[in-house]
Amino acid sequence: MSNNVMSVILGGGQGSRLSPLTLSRSKPAVPIAGKYRLVDIPISNCLNSGLRRIFVLTQFNSASLNKHIKNTYHFDNFSAGFVDILAAEQTPDNPTWYQGTADAVRQCLHHLDNHDFEYVLILSGDQLYQMNFMEMLKNHILQEADISIATIPVSSREAPDFGILKTNADQFITSFIEKPEKDILSEWRSEVSEEMEREGRRYLASMGIYIFNRRFLFDVLRENRDATDFGKEIIPQSIEKYKVTSFQYEGYWTDIGNIHSFFEANLGLTEGIPHFNLFDNQNSIYTRPRMLPPSKISGTTLEKTVIADGCIILASRIEHAVVGIRTRIGKGTTIVNSYLMGIDFYQTLEEIKDAVSRGIPPLGIGERCYIDNTIIDKNCRIGNDVRIKGGPHLEDGEHDLYVIKDGVVVIKKGAILPHGFSI
């Protein structure tokens, strides 16, 4: 059955809500959990589901994503499996860039048409979850559906941020509304499990995960050339005419749409029993094998902290934090409630001495620093005695070296914060 499926991962738009993390990279290439990229999540879900033919559609800042996929996903010469990038391209038939999710897939149909398959699995490149897509596919076939939509119960607080739908007794979708106002939510309650009911999660939200029958997808995209988006146009229009079914999922799922959700998702990995389980034999998260040494830690008190490979840590205390690959942290430093993305390469001792002699902090975080409620992007140089204290007391704003969003301070990639710098 898995041989009949083609997976398509949507790389997303410009990713402005995740800026400045997306200033030089696409959303799927944003580092997560200290050693992975966001795109590793949907790709790993596909591989764990036995789906080994995957296209990733990209448009903005795709160079780092191309490099990551090229260096990571290799199948043997006797396998038909692949993970390939389909970057937006102007052709005589399509002179414009991708205008939306549906338009992106429409412009790539000629690439898909070269392969043999019966079903198309369409995924988002900026979500955190673990899901067996074969269960969804079996339900799709059993229901003889034209489209299947993965749905998740959400609360009344969350519902206005999603596309909300209702189903009949056979789980076919009868109506759909995009981001409903709170005053009409009561009309959109759905039948959910007792556990979801107890948690107040009474509304079915679209997860942006779809299964289409091949011929149906090709026909509906070619016949509706003005429709550019699945969630806003293709899905609502199809509900009235075709068999569109809901596949209800009750596990952990979060949409990495903005800095706050990205920050919370990463720090959530430090909990004793996190909602997203990185330590699961059946659901491995795959990424680039870097052959880094183990991390070296001296004199540091660690509490609820995830530390990736290749770090050199002399800090006093690290609490409720994710520390990315190759991170260097000096003596006397305290890190709390923060995500440090790490460093792409090691400096030699000579390079460190040269930087210090010129008054430039070496890569990493210096001595006697205090960093709280902060994201530090890749390859930053944080001097000694730097103090960064994020929180609701700070107003949102854009600065040369950092951005503040929802109280989270985001230090831009490659930024240099001099000794004694304070936020």
Least confident range of 272-276, 295-299, 383-387: 272-276
pLDDT tier for residue 63 given thresholds of 50, 70 and 90:
confident
Q: Of 102-106, 351-355, 374-378, which range is least confident?
A: 102-106
Task: Say which residues have a Cβ less than 8 Å from residue 373's Cβ, sequence separation at least 6.
Answer: 336, 337, 338, 389, 390, 391, 407, 408, 409
Identify the CATH assignment for 2-270 out of 3.40.50.300, 3.40.50.150, 3.90.550.10, 1.10.287.130: 3.90.550.10
* CATH topology (fold) of 296-417: UDP N-Acetylglucosamine Acyltransferase; domain 1 (2.160.10)
Mind listing the pLDDT tens digit for each residue in 83-97?
A: 988 876 555 565 565
The mean pLDDT value of the chain amounts to 91
Which tens digit of pLDDT belongs to each residue from 124-182?
Answer: 988 999 999 999 999 999 999 999 999 999 998 899 988 899 999 889 999 998 888 88
Residues 246-255: tens digit of each pLDDT: 999 999 999 8
Which sequence spans correspond to the domains of the chain?
A: 2-270, 296-417
Contacts of 204 by beta carbon, 8 Å cutoff, 6+ apart: 151, 152, 153, 154, 164, 165, 166, 167, 190, 192, 246, 248
Q: How confident is the model at residue 316 (pLDDT cuts 50, 70, 90)?
A: very high
For residue 119, is it left (φ>0), alpha (ψ between -120 and 50) or beta? beta
Q: By C-alpha distance, which of 320, 322, 326 is closest to 296?
A: 326
Dihedral sign from CA coordinates of 327, 362, 412, 367: positive
Going by pLDDT thresholds of 50, 70 and 90, the confidence category of residue 281 is confident
Q: Give 405's Cβ-side CA count (13 Å radius).
A: 21
Lowest average pLDDT, out of 27-36, 181-190, 266-275, goes to: 181-190
Residue type, 232: K
